[in-house]
Structure 1
Amino acid sequence: MASVVSICNLALSNIGKQNIQSLDEPGAEPRACKQFYEHSRDTLLQVYPWRFAGKTESLAEVANDKPGRWARAYKRPVDCLKIRWVRPEYSVRDPGPQTLQEELAYPHDAEGTTIYCDLSPAFLRYTAKLADPTRFSPMFIEALSWQLATRIAMPLTRDPKIRADCYQLAQATQSAAAEADANEVRETSDHESEFVAERG
């Protein structure tokens, strides 16, 4: 089962460093992991709409300070890293290319802790700041370990080549993880389409 420490140990192994038992133990390795882990995780979560990090919430309305532009204003959830879409009804399905036109029918804007749109009610689908590593996919964990390795390489090795190698592998594993996530969405959609066809 994945944990923050196990992911940090993957990153440390990627740059040839010894494993740690805790982020709070003394030493340069745990200190570097503690400094860069959350930032590396949140950066990776934000760059792609991972299925396991998706969340849908009914938005709470707040005072609208832009009534000339938007009909409604809502409070942005505190754990929202990236907005995916706003809709007038609850849904956990993320839009594919076939529903892009539908999504454009529900424009929105975000500023600080406020989301503006013309819908009431309004449901937000977003990427959450997910802290529980047991919910990460294996390929996301692999990509995160290289993302973190890129961050800690210079503080722990002072070797630009190691950092450059980590960066290349971070990009490659991120792309592979995103592709696997996208394929899972397509396979799920295909299965649902076949199920509907059989019922019809």
Structure 2
Amino acid sequence: MNDTQICNLALAEVGDSYSITDINETSNQAAVCRLFFGPTRDALLRMHPWNFARTLAALSALSTEPVFGWGYQYQLPADFIRLVEFNGLDAWQTEDDFQIANGPSGGLVLLTDEDAASVVYLKRVTDANLFDPLFVEALTLRLAMRICTKLTKDDGIKDRLTREAKEAMARARQTDANESRPRRVGMWEDSDLAMGRFGE
């Protein structure tokens, strides 16, 4: 599977009879696919913590401290798409405060008061051979939905693709989630944060 094949699947969903031989060719269909492919792929990657896109990293603190508000700043990898875990806990429930912002030398940084930063993050996967098959289905339909307005004025086709893209995404997310069971570092209800908010 490659980008060109995914584009051809999307073109077929739109009803376009033309098949491209390369996403970088000069045809109108290839130009439309190039316009939407990267942004659609990256948006889909951010929507769910896909197993195939998870990557572990121990971040190194930058030599310069944040201008204010935080004790440390850590450069995030160039292929960073979304934070999943920070210092062993899901990012949404961690007790370690943090913020992601633009860095002083470009790229994104993680700001925190913690003197260590181990993360699980979603990377920008550009090799389509690594995509989960259900991700390919969801990407194909979402791409078709995006290119539809450029290649056809048929609102019926766009409505169908919008519905099918939503259904495909739901299937892909459910299946992917069933194949991942994060390690339990500590139960949420027993954490200091939960006890401080709700405990006696």
Q: What's the secondary structure of 1:176's corresponding residue?
A: helix
Higher helix share: 1
Matches within 5 A, 1:63-82: 63-67=64-68, 69-82=69-82
Partner in structure 1 of residue 162 of structure 2: 167
Partner in structure 1 of residue 117 of structure 2: 122
Give the length in aligned residue pairs. 176
Cα RMSD (Å)? 2.0
C-alpha change, 1:124 and 1:66, in structure 2 (3 Å) is farther
**Cα deviation, residue 59, structure 1:** 1.1
TM score, norm. by length of structure 2:
0.81
**Cα deviation, residue 66, structure 1:** 4.4
Distance (Å, rounded) in 2 between the aligned partners of 1:178 and 1:110: 25
Is this contact kept in 1: 2:32–2:147, CA < 8 A?
yes
Matched, 1:7 2:2: no
Matches within 5 A, 1:1-200: 2-17=1-16, 18-62=18-62, 63-67=64-68, 69-87=69-87, 95=90, 103-112=93-102, 113-186=108-181
The one-letter code matched in structure 2 to 1:169 is E
Distance (Å, rounded) in 2 between the aligned partners of 1:25 and 1:78: 28
Q: List per-residue Cα deviations over 1:73-129 (Å, max 9, x = no partner).
A: 111211111112221xxx6xx84xxx97xx422221111222111222211211111
Percent identity of paired positions between Structure 1 and Structure 2: 28
Q: List per-residue Cα deviations over 1:104-159 (Å, max 9, x = no partner).
A: 22221111222111222211211111101111000000000001001100101122
Q: What's the secondary structure of 2:179's corresponding residue?
A: helix
Is this contact kept in 1: 2:10–2:141, CA < 8 A?
yes
Is this contact kept in 1: 2:72–2:114, CA < 8 A?
yes
Q: What's the secondary structure of 2:49's corresponding residue?
A: coil
Distance (Å, rounded) in 2 between the aligned partners of 1:161 and 1:27: 25
Distance (Å, rounded) in 2 between the aligned partners of 1:143 and 1:134: 15
Q: What's the secondary structure of 1:57's corresponding residue?
A: strand
In the alignment, structure 1 segments of 5+ residues that lack a partner are 190-200
In the alignment, structure 2 segments of 5+ residues that lack a partner are 103-107, 184-200
